[in-house]
Structure formats: structure tokens, C-alpha cells
Chain A
Amino acid sequence: MDLRQIWILYRHEVRSALRDRSIVVMSIVIPLVMYPLLLWGTFAAMNFVEGQAERLTSRIAVQDAPPAHRDWIDSLSGMGGVSVSEWMDDEASARESVARGRMDAFVRFESPPAEGAGLEQNFQLRVLYSAARDRSERARSQVEEALVLYRGAWIEGAREDLGISDPEWSGFAVVQEDLATPEEATRFLLALMVPMLTLIMVALASFYPAIDATAGERERATWETLMTVSASRGSIAAAKYLHVATFGAMGGLLNVGALVLSLRWILAPVAGPEGVGGGGLPLSTIPIIAVGTVLLGLFVAAGMLVFAIFARNFKEGQAAITPFYMVTILPAIFLQSPDIELTNRLALVPVINLVLLLRSAIGGSLALGPGLLTLASMAVTVVLAVTFAQWVMRREDVLLGSAGAGLWEFLRSHFLRRKGKA
């Protein structure tokens, strides 16, 4: 292979790809703007919902309230955003009003169940509401909240009447102390989120370049033009591979970069520096994330090219790559449980090992042994995948598009039939 030829071909591939709108959107724009848009969208939606909720008043009607418990009605009215009225009509019309949305909740004081009858002035509340309406659901929740507060105050008064002191009352208490700093709490969340999203972004960013470099060439009829240039098949395959790997790794790295900047510039002003744990990823994890993302890009590029090389047009290319795409990202989604850690055994499983490596690195629990084993095993996997991709891409029937419908058909015809013939 001639490095100068590879460089010329690589530049040519990248230049063409950078002028293709779908590739630029999928491989650069989406990884770059996903987090800012996601965070901005989430805040905007939260603000909108909160604003809407604050403007709404819960309309609650109360019936048969005993004079001894007028305080509860006062505390409910005092919650803010609640309008309490006394219901003079029958329950059937109250039901209809709640069901039709003219009223949000109907509350009736009833006698307590038999086991609670011993308590003086005890009661139970019957609350009619509609779970199909958010406003009604909110009113129910406000009724419940007011009752909890009222019950607490009632019991407090009863305690004082019985002469139970504060220390006696607070016996068997639990005192909690969170040892995690805000930074650590943020890292825990990022450790769950970033590896999976990085993998998805690498796969997404490789997807269109891989199809464009193979099936796209055939569909545009530029494949044969390229096959007649004075570069070895190996150089052409290497340039295509590096081109796809570049876009994949770039998509992943841009995505991580966008996350860090989003946390610093979008989340911090809203949540405060404490809320984003000092600004996101610790600097020490950046090199590990970069190496991991590049390795992912190299592996995914080889896999996608091997599947896409058999396709004769864009549609076939998408169909050919999709199973590989799913097989690559699905295990990472199932690995979302924080209980699964990077062990020496898992360090030998491609892709999963890198996802766990990134997670451990971001979470601050990376052990040296499994980490090095992951990098070594992934490097070997990449070399094997690239060697296989090069072998496939140099076959004459593959180059001419006559190798059958896909990889499995190709392997069957090259190994099983050949053995059969012999």
C-alpha cells in the first residue's frame, strides 16, 4: 500500500462527504447539537409546564366538614392555587361535575372505619377525582398533602397532651449523610449516559459515510471509475475505511465535547455550579474517552464497510448495515444497570468492554488491569475486523457487485460451496 495514494484517496472521500448534506447532518450536526438542544428543550418544557401549573387553580368542593376540622379546610385554602368551596348538592351531581371537568376534586368527610372509631373526632375523606385529567390529579395530590400536614399537626398536639417529650418522640431516628460531592453525583449520572450515547453517536456518524463510500459509489456509477485509477485495491479500501472511521470517531468526540460545553454553558447558569458538579467530566477522563471513542470508530467502520460493500444501492446499503448497527448498540443499552462492572472477562467482549471502560473512567472506578485488557483486546478486534474488511473488499466478485446479496451469501459461496465442490 502506498501512503501517498491513501492520503489522496482519503482526502477525496472526505471532501465529497463534507459536501453531502445528509452526511454532514447525521455525522456532524446531530452529534454537536444534540445535547444543547436536549437540555434547552428539557428546560423550556419544564418551565412551560411549571408556568402552566402555576396559573391553574384547583377547584375543590368539600361536603359535610365537621366544625372541629375547619382548620384543615383553612390549610387547604392556604396552599396557594387552590379554591375551596362548600358543596351543597348531592354526590351524583358532584361526580358529574368532576367527570366533566367543571370541578377538579370533590371531598366528603365520612365516618372512620370501625377500627378507627375509638379515636375522638376521627374521620375519613372520600376524594372523587379524574386521573384522566392532569388538573384533577393535581387537586387530589393537594388534598392529600394538606391532610398529611393536618394529621402531623394533630398528632403533635396529641403527643403534647400525653406528655411525650421531644427526645422520646424522635426515638429510633435515621440521620442520613450523603458522602458524595455534587461532582461525584454528576459523574455517576454521566457514567450511565455518556458511554451509551457515545456508542450510538459513533454508529450513527459512521452509518451514512459507510453506505456512501460503497453502495453510494455503485449507485452513482463511480465505482468502476475508481477501480481504474492507479492505486492498489488495498489503498482504495484503506482510504475508504479511514474515511468512515474518521466520521465515526469525529461524531463521537463532537458529541462528548458538546456534552461538556452544554453542561458548563447551559446547565450551570440554571442549576448553579453545584448542580452540574463543577462542570461535567473531569479532565483526567478526557484522554480515555478520546481513545475509547477512536477505537469504537475504527471497529464500527470496519464492520459497517464489510456489510455495506455488497449493496448495489443506498436502500440495500441501509438494509445491510442496520442489523450490524442494532447488534452493536443493543448490548450497551442492556448494560445500563450500574451493578455490571468491567471485569477481566468482560474486557474481552468487543464494544461492551469499551462501554464499560468509559463508564468506569467517568465514574472514577477504573481498575488498571481490566482497563489495559480492554484496550488491548479492542485493538486486536479492530486489527482482525480491518483485515477481514480488506480481504472482503479485495475480492473480484465483491468489487464487481456480483458476490450475492450480502455477507452471509458471500461467505457461504466462498467457503461452504467451495468445500462442497472439492
Chain B
Amino acid sequence: MNREPVRTQALTKVFYDESRGQVRAADEVTLSCSEGEILGLLGANGAGKTTTLRMLSTVLRPSSGKAWIMGHEVRDAPEEVRANLGFYSASTALYPKITPRETLRFFATVNRYPADRVAGRVDHLIERFGLGDYADTRVEKLSSGMKQKVSIARTVAHDPPVLIFDEPTVALDVLNAIELREIIADLRGEGKAILFSTHIMSEAEKLCDRIAVIHGGRILATGTLDELRETTGLHYLEDIFVRFAGARNAGSAERENAG
């Protein structure tokens, strides 16, 4: 039994950039997420959230460090990792030429959901997400709200124990964003371990059980909102974030000056 379905240890990703040389997009990231928990990854744009989540979803290969999803290490068993994972982001769109029913069937099957239960699972998801009237209409003809529902249904099509949402509300209007957050909260209720990255403070405050503040590729602090308030003596998450990020920036500047 995995008490911590998601676990990373000093997970690092180094890119080579023509103009900047070596860039440590994620720098020794260590975190964990339990069943029925939403761990928020809170950071500004370019903080290393997406890189970390892409390493967890095996889209990127870590330069060093380790990460486990349901006990499977991302470098050693990437296919098993992906079978236990649902990944949703603004850059994971749907295939426009197939229908929601075909979409769900494809993703359940290719993600190794038991073949004899796929049809039942697809029907269940169509009902749960209210897709009945559009289940056999091509995705390209659906409204953006319906596409979003199909996209979430696609993410959970194979009923994975771990879900990753990478800035999922970034392109949504207010009502759709609220609906999405409610769905994610429901999924937590089903015992899923959920990693949720965002740069919107209010979103993290409302939804996340624990928050990991990430900046410059490093995790600067992890805890519940109350724990972070206690550590910093500040009330608002925005102030807490600025305190940590500011301290990190000052430290980097000092090191550069000393160098």
C-alpha cells in the first residue's frame, strides 16, 4: 500500500540554453502527496512548476534525483508511471476529429484500463460529466465549456490514483474555473492524490490542503496554509509567497555579488 502515491527526492532538471548556458529549471525538488490530498505548487511564471510536473509525468527525463508515482520510479518505469497518472494542462488538448465517447474509450484503453470494463467506464464518465447529449458529436463542434469537461473526463478515463493539474484554470473564464475547482475537490474526495500548480494565490488558498512554494526551481517552503502563516507571521498567502520569493532573490543576489 502506497501511503504517499507521489514522492520526489532532489529532483533536478538542467537544460542547456544557447544564450544562458546551463539552466537549472528544477533544482533538487523534494515533495510528497498523499491519498485524498491536494498539494498546491505555488509559483510565479518560470518558477519551475511545469518542469517539475513534466518530470513527474515522464514527459521530461530528470537530470538527477528521483521521483516515484505509486512506487514506480519515473526513469525506470515510465509506462507504469503514466498508467497510474492523469495529466491535465492548458497544453493537453483533445483530438478534434473524434467524439467524446471515442476520446474516452481511446484514453481508457491506451492507459491499460481493463478491456472488459472500458465500455462501462466510458458510460459512467459520460453520465458523471453530463456529456450525454454530446457524446457522439465531434469534439471540434463542442463549446469550450464542454471541451473542458471532456478534457477532465479524459484525464480520469483510466481511473488513475494520481492526478496532475498544471495551471488548469489559466485559460478559463470565472464560471468554468469554479466548476473545474469543484470537480477537482470531488476527485480528492474519491481518494486521489492531486498535484495542482497555480500562480493564483486565491486558488491555492481555497483548494489546496498543503502548499509548496516554488521559486527559481527550488521548493522554498511546504505546509498547510496555517503552518505557512505560523512560520512567517503573515496572514495572506500573497504576502507569504513574496516573503519566501524575496528572501530567495536576496540570497541569490548576495551570492552573485560575493562571487
Q: Is the CB of B91 within 8 A of A228?
A: no
Which among B96, B110, B112 has the greatest number of chain A C-beta atoms within 10 A?
A: B110
**Contact status of A396 and B61, CB under 8 A, knowing A224-B91, A224-B92:** yes
Instruction: Determine whether B196 belongs to the interface, using a CB cutoff of 8 Å to chain A.
Output: no
Q: Is the CB of B85 within 8 A of A222?
A: no
Q: Is the CB of A220 within 8 A of B82?
A: no
Q: B49-76, CB under 8 A of A: which get 1 and which 0?
A: 0000000011111000000000000000
B-chain residues with CB within 8 Å of residue A12 when the two chains form the complex: 95, 98, 106, 110
CB distance from B59 to the nearest CB of A (A): 5
A-chain residues with CB within 8 Å of residue B34 when the two chains form the complex: none
Neighbour of A16 across the interface among B79, B82, B95, CB < 8 A: B95
Of the listed stretches A74-82, A201-209, A229-237, A286-294, name the one at the interface; the rest are far from the partner chain.
A229-237
Instruction: Determine whether A419 belongs to the interface, using a CB cutoff of 8 Å to chain B.
Output: no
Instruction: Determine whether A70 belongs to the interface, using a CB cutoff of 8 Å to chain B.
Output: no
Instruction: Determine whether A227 belongs to the interface, using a CB cutoff of 8 Å to chain B.
Output: yes
Q: Is the CB of B110 within 8 A of A222?
A: no
A-chain residues with CB within 8 Å of residue B102 when the two chains form the complex: 15
Instruction: Determine whether A399 belongs to the interface, using a CB cutoff of 8 Å to chain B.
Output: yes
Q: Is the CB of B106 within 8 A of A225?
A: no
Number of A-B contacts (CB under 8 A): 70
Cα separation A230 to B159 with both chains bound (whole Å): 13
Instruction: Determine whether A37 belongs to the interface, using a CB cutoff of 8 Å to chain B.
Output: no
Cα separation A5 to B82 with both chains bound (whole Å): 13
Q: Chain B interface: which size bin?
A: 20 to 34
Cα separation A405 to B37 with both chains bound (whole Å): 42
Instruction: Determine whether B97 belongs to the interface, using a CB cutoff of 8 Å to chain A.
Output: yes
Cα separation A400 to B57 with both chains bound (whole Å): 13
Interface size on A, residues (CB 8 A): 22
Cα separation A263 to B83 with both chains bound (whole Å): 53
Instruction: Determine whether A9 belongs to the interface, using a CB cutoff of 8 Å to chain B.
Output: yes
Neighbour of A220 across the interface among B78, B85, B96, CB < 8 A: B96
Q: Is the CB of A220 within 8 A of B110?
A: no
Instruction: Determine whether B87 belongs to the interface, using a CB cutoff of 8 Å to chain A.
Output: yes
Instruction: Determine whether A221 belongs to the interface, using a CB cutoff of 8 Å to chain B.
Output: yes
B-chain residues with CB within 8 Å of residue A230 when the two chains form the complex: 79-80, 82-83, 110-112, 158
A-chain residues with CB within 8 Å of residue B97 when the two chains form the complex: 15-16, 19-20
Q: Is the CB of A224 within 8 A of B59?
A: yes
Instruction: Determine whether A380 belongs to the interface, using a CB cutoff of 8 Å to chain B.
Output: no
Instruction: Determine whether B244 belongs to the interface, using a CB cutoff of 8 Å to chain A.
Output: no
Q: Is the CB of B95 within 8 A of A222?
A: yes
A-chain residues with CB within 8 Å of residue B98 when the two chains form the complex: 12, 15-16, 19
Q: What is B's interface to A at a CB cutoff of 8 Å?
A: 57-61, 78-80, 82-83, 85, 87, 89-98, 102, 106-107, 109-112, 138, 154, 158
Other A-B pairs, 4, CB within 8 Å; known A221-B91, A396-B60 = A222-B95, A224-B59, A228-B82, A228-B85
3 nearest A-B residue pairs (beta carbon): A221-B93, A230-B83, A19-B97
**Could you give 20 example pairs across A and B, Cβ below 8 Å?**
A12-B110, A15-B97, A15-B102, A16-B95, A16-B98, A220-B95, A221-B92, A222-B93, A224-B59, A224-B89, A224-B92, A225-B95, A228-B57, A228-B59, A228-B87, A228-B92, A230-B111, A232-B79, A399-B59, A400-B60
Q: What is A's interface to B at a CB cutoff of 8 Å?
A: 5, 8-9, 12, 15-16, 19-20, 220-222, 224-225, 227-232, 396, 399-400
